[in-house]
Structure formats: C-alpha cells, structure tokens
Structure 1
C-alpha cells in the first residue's frame, strides 16, 4: 500500500520493512492502527440494525468448496478481543466498555514486537 502511495515501482525491489524504516514507522504501529479501526468498525456495525449487520451475522446456504476453510473476518475479532463474537456484540452495546476492550486488545503491555 505504501509503495503505491509513494509511487515506488515494483521493479525497485524494495521491502516493506525498508520503506517503513524510511518513513520512520514501526510495523507494530501500522498493525495496531489496522486492528483498532477494524474493531471500532465491528462495534459500529453491531450497534445498528442495518444491512451490514445482517451480512455480518448471516450465513450462506449450500456447501463450501474443497480445501482449508477460509479465515473469517469475525475470527480476527474474537482472537483479538478474547471473546466470542456474540459476547463482543453484547459488549459493544456499552460503548465505554467496548472502547476499553479495544484499547486493551491493541495496546501492548510488553515490549513492542519487532
């Protein structure tokens, strides 16, 4: 994504790590921001009764394709928060409680990973 924004051609063979160092960013900062945005959006969607919530909670009829099951969006939510999706949905109704859970999930109590 950053290569595209900075207009670095793919033939330059620059690594993501190299580009992040050049910009003065840590990889963990970027991942932390993405986690926060994803968790906040989950809370927003679950609090409202609309099409996005229906798509999030709905299931598709029929058989799935062969091979390993695909990673679901809700699996990230439950892994990061440490709750099931249903428990996270209930928690999101309390905005302050959900904000503190998101902050806890995205802050590192130990040294930032490399």
Structure 2
C-alpha cells in the first residue's frame, strides 16, 4: 500500500480513504478485546500520525508538530476513538446477552488471583473513558440502551 499512499498523482483525500478502508481494519483486528493502557494509546496515536506523515510526504526530520500535520491533512485523530466505540458496542452486546462472555468480562468466576500488581481490565478502561469512574455504574448503564447511547454520544461530543 506504500505506493498508493505516497503516490503524488493520487489526491490526499483518496489516500485517506484507502488508509481508512484497507489499513485501519487490519490494524484494528480484534480491538474489541484489547485493554488500552496509556502506553498503547500513545503507540496507536503515533502510528496514525506516521501514516499521515507518509501520505503527506513529510520527512521525519521536518520539525512539524502533530497539530500542523493534522491541519494540513484536514483530519482529526480518530483511531483510538473508533477502537473505544467498537469496544463499547461489543461490551453492550455481551452484557445484554448474559452468557459466559458476560462472566469473563466482568471477572466473576472462581479461582485465585496471581501475585503482584493486577492487570488493567477492559471494564476499568471503558469506565474511565466514559467518565463514570466505577465499573458498577458502567454495567448499570449497559442494561439501558438509551442511557448507554447517551453516554457514548456525550463522550464523542467531548472529543476524547
């Protein structure tokens, strides 16, 4: 795809559509089950900016800020938001279904926890993204589709 994305005879809009149609789905494969930490979020944003810089043919030695590159491409960062939206949609589907996936996602199964610092759970990441702060509030909101859609829409309005 490098030849298509960096071709001078293809417009930036066409290159952005090719990126969105062919590369982003491969990049986001299985993202519904990811636990996104701050480090992973930074890497995803850096990847998105790397693609834009390649499309605009901006060398890595050029001292252009990411905001300038985004303005030049007439684009906003959307990769992390898309992943979070897909995670929220998948979570609502799993929680309403109420099968084994529900038990695994909420962490309500028998057994011992391993020693050391516990890993961040998907529910914790979504609760902080939605601004609820508590997992139980998030689970309660999932049951009500209207409330869940409003929460996701409010997060999108805030631009996170």
* Superposition TM-score, scaled by structure 1 size: 0.68
Higher relative contact order (CA 8 A, sep 6+): 1
What residue ranges of structure 2 are gaps of 5+ in the alignment? 1-22, 27-45, 57-72
Matching of residue 89 in structure 1 with residue 139 in structure 2? yes
What residue ranges of structure 1 are gaps of 5+ in the alignment? 6-14
Output the CA distance in 2 between the equivalents of 1:90 and 1:42. Answer: 12
1:69 corresponds in structure 2 to 118
Q: Which stretches of structure 1, 4 residues or longer, exceed 6 Å deviation after superposition?
A: none
When structure 1 is superposed on structure 2, of 48-57 and 24-33 the one drifting more is 24-33
Superposition deviation, residue 26 in structure 1? 5.0
Aligned CA RMSD, in angstroms, stands at 2.9
- The structure with the larger Rg is 2
2:96 corresponds in structure 1 to 47
Distance 1:32 1:62, change over 3 A: same
Superposition deviation, residue 77 in structure 1? 1.2
Query: In structure 2, which of residues 52, 69, 80 is the aligned counterpart of residue 20 of structure 1?
Result: 52
Distance 1:37 1:63, change over 3 A: closer
1:9 corresponds in structure 2 to none
Task: String of CA shifts for 1:25-57, please: whole Å, max 9, x gaps.
Answer: 857211111111111111111112111101112
Output the CA distance in 1 between the equivalents of 2:75 and 2:109. Answer: 37
1:104 corresponds in structure 2 to 154
Alpha-carbon contact 1:35-1:106 (below 8 Å) kept: no
